[in-house]
Amino acid sequence: MPIINKITLLLLIVGGLNWGLVGLFDFDLVAAIFGEMSLLSRIVYALVGASALAQLVSLFAGQDESRRTVRAS
């Protein structure tokens, strides 16, 4: 797995855990660490969103590859 996929996956895990904390306990860990809607927290939120897009593109690109492999067999 390329390093960019590992980084984006890690960011998505952090984002998912943060949303879990928000949903279960009304506690935003990113805001608690960096300040509510501070520049750093906004950067973290933006990176998580960009990671989701990157993983989405990677997911669909991987499905296209698997279809080609199955058809070629």
Cα atoms in the 13 Å half-sphere on the side-chain side of 51: 20
Q: What is the pLDDT of residue 38?
A: 96
pTM: 0.77
For 30-54, give the secondary structure using H, E and C: HHHHHCCCCHHHHHHHHHHHHHHHH
Q: What is the pLDDT of residue 58?
A: 86
Q: What is the pLDDT of residue 1?
A: 67
Please name the residues in contact with 5: beta carbons below 8 A apart, sequence gap of 6 or more. 54, 55, 58
pLDDT tens digits for the chain (73 residues)? 689 999 999 999 999 999 999 999 999 999 999 999 999 999 999 999 999 999 999 888 876 555 555 565 5
- Any idea where the domains of the chain sit in the sequence? 3-72
